[in-house]
Amino acid sequence: MSLKDSWLDRTNCDAKVDGIALNRLMPGTYAYVDRPAGPHHVTATQILFPGETVLDFNTEPGKTYFFSIKPSERSRAMQGGAIMFGLVGAGVMAAASAGADNKGPVDLVPLQESQARTAMVELLQAE
């Protein structure tokens, strides 16, 4: 889900769970997929972003898992470079942040079920 946080924390992404594409997540939306218990592989990308967010985790039977997306540190660095120095600044910051732990555009932040369900009341399902 992409929460309606401050404008600095708003972001979007194209996500896949076990290779299954979800609808594009935009600010104020959520998407879901029903998967069996066991290991899962989540990826998130953005158009023109030189990297991919990856999350591998295991699920238990009967549990629901919720994640919020927020801009990664690398994404924030590139956006700052672009704001200050245009495309050259974004390119410089992309190279400078290439060693970041998360090479992708977003951080996938786990949420408690109660927190997620409260937030979902204000969100729209991604289409």
Task: Encode pLDDT of 66-95 as tens digits.
Answer: 999 999 988 888 777 777 777 776 677 777
The pLDDT score that the predictor gives to residue 31 is 94
2 falls within a domain: no
Which is nearest to 1 in space by CA: 67, 57, 63, 56?
Answer: 67
Is position 1 within any domain? no
Task: Please tell me the pTM assigned to this model.
Answer: 0.83
pLDDT recorded at residue 7: 55
How many structural domains comprise the chain? 1
Cα separation, 36 vs 43, whole angstroms? 18
Binned at pLDDT 50, 70 and 90, residue 56 comes out as very high
Q: What is the mean pLDDT of the chain?
A: 87
The answer to whether residue 35 is domain-embedded is: yes
Q: What is the pLDDT of residues 1-35, one digit of tens each?
A: 777 666 556 789 999 999 999 999 998 899 999 99
The neighbouring-strand residues paired with 44 are: 15, 53
Q: How many CA atoms lie within 13 A of 37 on its CB side?
A: 4
Question: Containing domain of residue 66, as a range?
Answer: 7-125
Give me 111's structure tokens. 């949420």
Does 84 reside within a domain?
yes
15, with CB counted inside 10 A (0-12, 13-18, 19+), is buried
Output the pLDDT for position 20.
95
